[in-house]
Structure 1
Amino acid sequence: MIEALPTLVPVGEYIAVGDALGCAPVLFHALSKVESLEDPRAIRREDHWWRKMRFASREAKAFDRKPNPKNMDDRWTILREMDAVCQADAPLNLRARNAAILCHSLCWSQIMGFNHRSCGFDDPRNWLDAVQTLQGQRECLIAFVTDNPVLQTAFQRRDYPAIAHHYNGPNYRANKYDEKLRTTVRKLETAGVTYA
């Protein structure tokens, strides 16, 4: 189902998210550029989370040093391969069942799988299914931000350090996430992108 997504997120998605959260749509457009280059099919494995969550089988360990390929189709293939290993390992360690999903960030907003509950899903597999459509991605991001009132207020106030802290994590300064977001917003506003 992921193949049916467009190459770039339509501007209407940013408008819908902004309207739902009482925020400027340009913020979510900038977030999308910073997180995924506006790719709704974006996927990234976070290896440090994978090593913490996976079962220590030989098959699971084989993915420890496997790089994130540039091609998103290849990344989705690796996720499916990892998930198959996790399913096989689940009888030995039930916690490993969803490890492949939990250690990936998905779609244009790059929300981590371990945040599935903040997106409104008890089961990470249902969250994975949801983010394979634009509507599901939009609804998950809205739920994720709504679940954290401090983050929602930060978006509403354009408080870039607070957005960075609550969206990207407490180490956001290391990669200048707040500055990247602010700069991208300025560029979009200067370019005159229409959000109507």
Structure 2
Amino acid sequence: MTASPPAAEFTGNPAPLTPTDFAAAAAALGCTAAAVRAVVAVESRGGFLADGRPRILFERHKFSAFTGHAFDDSHPAVSARQPGGYLGGAREYDRLGEALALDRLAALKAASWGAFQIMGFNHAAAGFRDVESFVAAMVSGHAAQLRAFVAFIRAQGLADALARADWPVFARAYNGPAYAAHAYDTRIAEAHARFLAEGADQRPTLRHGATGEAVRQLQRLLGLSADGLFGPATQAAVTARQRAAGLPADGVVGPQTWAMLTG
């Protein structure tokens, strides 16, 4: 097996994401911070190895497909029609190194990267023109990994499932049709519940004049047209629901109102 690629090429800044980072991503997607944290917990438990390289998983069946199965016979550890051969942790870079020596672009596309384990071949959906720039961003730090996740979720139309905590729908699209065999949906649901219990539900406070995906999610919960603008109609609907639930009818959507609407 080819040695692991030089560490310097893939060594970045492993500084962890902060609660503010998670809250900002949640606001952009209209979901809870707990939901974003749950995806990290199940996908990677953190985007970097102890040596400062992004956490990866090399998929030999993807490499095989991207190279027209040219290396299946000569390099079966990294090129095969069936998934498998995983070594885990830093040893995945040994597999990546072997593939890089055969076809660099195919190798980078065939690995999942960082905290959210986005596949290299999904670089365009994550907001990058090519896989090289995508990988460079994944190496740079958790902040870029989080931005890529937000872009990917939007591009794949998964913001609503994430906001509703509809984990079977989310897992099917994010992890593939075999998600149930690996219990991705139940594992994310459990992590989400755990983070909620720990107080990680940091939905943004919304009031008249707010805009964005969080407002669209609010409007969907209210049965309104989701235009993303918190105007008079949205404020009136919020006030009516607050009054009906016995909450202060101030038209401001804070923790109690979110809980009432999503409970």
**TM-score normalized with structure 2 length:** 0.62
Task: Give the aligned length.
Answer: 184
The code of the aligned residue for 1:174 comes to A
Which residue number corresponds to residue 65 of structure 2?
52
Q: Deviations over 1:10-47 (max 9, x none)?
A: 44332222122111011111110100022342100112
Consecutive unaligned residues in structure 1, runs of 5 or more = 88-97
SS in 2 for 1:44: strand
Match of 1:124 among 131, 134, 138: 131
Residue number in structure 1 paired with 2:170: 163
Selected match of 2:193 from 169, 182, 186:
186
Q: Which has the higher contact order (CA 8 A, sep 6+)?
A: 1
SS at match of 2:112: strand
- Where in structure 2 are the equivalents of 1:1-196 lying within 5 Å? 2-6=10-14, 8-40=16-48, 41-54=54-67, 56-57=70-71, 60-61=75-76, 63-64=78-79, 67-72=85-90, 74-87=91-104, 98-132=105-139, 133-149=141-157, 151-193=158-200, 195=202
Q: Is the 8 A contact 1:42 1:107 kept in 2?
A: yes
- Please say if residues 26 and 189 of structure 1, whose CA atoms lie closer than 8 Å, have aligned partners that are also in contact: yes
Secondary structure of 2:192's aligned partner: helix
Asked whether the equivalents of residues 125 and 152 of structure 2 are also in contact (C-alpha less than 8 Å), the reply is yes
136-145 vs 7-16, greater mean Cα deviation: 7-16
Q: Percent identity?
A: 27
Give the secondary-structure state (helix, strand or coil) at the position aligned to 1:120: coil
In structure 2, the CA distance between the partners of 1:179 and 1:37, relative to structure 1 (3 Å rule), is same
Structure 1 CA distance, aligned partners of 2:61 and 2:77? 14
Partner Cα separation in structure 2 for residue 157 and residue 193 of structure 1? 16
TM-score (norm 1): 0.80
Change (3 A) 1:49 1:118: same
Deviations 1:111-134 (A, max 9, x none): 111111101222111111111122
Distance 1:16 1:84, change over 3 A: farther
Cα drift, residue 145 of structure 1: 0.7
Equivalent position of 2:220 in the other structure: none
Segments of structure 2 that go 5 or more residues without pairing to the other structure are 1-8, 49-53, 204-263
State the Cα distance separating 1:191 from its structure 2 match: 3.3
8 Å Cα contact 2:78/2:98 also seen in 1: no
Provide Cα deviations, 1:52-88, integer angstroms capped at 9, x if missing partner: 123514765563389443333x43354244223215x
More helix by share: 1
After alignment, is 138-147 or 2-11 more displaced? Answer: 2-11
